[in-house]
């Protein structure tokens, strides 16, 4: 198994470290040539979604990325990655990839100073969750499985080959969600 980690901006190093800890082959994706390499899965890290979108566009990667995801590439988006995947953004006119049937509210928990860490359930298992200028899922389509709700807000969901979290599992000392994503790929 080999997983590509989008490495244009954001917390990509931490995702690589989690995959390394699990013994999963992985590589950074920094340009169109990297994006076209064979991979069994893809991680879109947290960071700043607008900056990521601009880089994906400027580097001529956006259309190829969207095509790969729409063709069934297992994809895991954290925070900004979830925002990129969402079909709708409730507080922004333009959504990005529009591949996951969720409506996401950007910066829903406020500014950087409002960031927090909590422990709550993901797929019925209690894990640490790091929220940094985090979004949440306002609503989800009928075929979207809700995996985590914190304070009445949807913060993790899955739709077929797509997994999205509003928080940063790569910043916590826990491998549960990365293991879950690897399990998705294996199926």
Please list the active-site residues: 79, 168, 170
Structure tokens at 115: 């960031």
The residues with which 75 forms a beta bridge, in sequence order, are 42, 162
Could you give the dihedral angle defined by the CA atoms of residues 115, 28, 156 and 180, in that order, rounded to the nearest 10 degrees? -130
Q: Which positions ≥6 away from 11 have C-beta within 8 Å?
A: 45, 46, 47, 78, 168, 170, 171
- Contact call for residues 96 and 148 (beta carbons, < 8 A): no
DSSP element (H, E) containing 84: helix 80-85
């Amino acid at each position: 198994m080999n997983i590509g980690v989008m490495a244009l901006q954001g917390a990509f190093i931490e995702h690589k470290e989690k995959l390394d800890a699990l013994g999963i082959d992985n590589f950074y994706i920094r340009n169109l040539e990297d994006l076209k390499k064979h991979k069994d899965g893809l991680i879109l890290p947290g960071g700043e979604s607008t900056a990521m979108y601009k880089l994906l566009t400027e580097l001529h990667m956006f259309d190829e990325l969207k095509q790969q995801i729409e063709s069934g590439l297992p994809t895991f988006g954290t925070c900004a990655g979830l925002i990129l995947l969402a079909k709708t953004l409730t507080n922004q006119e333009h959504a990005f990839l529009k591949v996951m049937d969720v409506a996401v509210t950007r910066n829903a928990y406020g500014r950087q100073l409002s960031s927090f860490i909590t422990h709550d359930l993901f797929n019925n298992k209690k894990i640490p969750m790091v929220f940094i200028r985090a979004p949440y899922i306002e609503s989800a389509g009928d075929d979207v499985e809700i995996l985590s709700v914190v304070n009445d807000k949807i913060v993790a969901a899955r739709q077929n080959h797509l997994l999205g979290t509003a928080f940063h599992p790569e910043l916590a000392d826990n491998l549960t969600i990365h293991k879950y994503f690897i399990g998705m790929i294996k199926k």
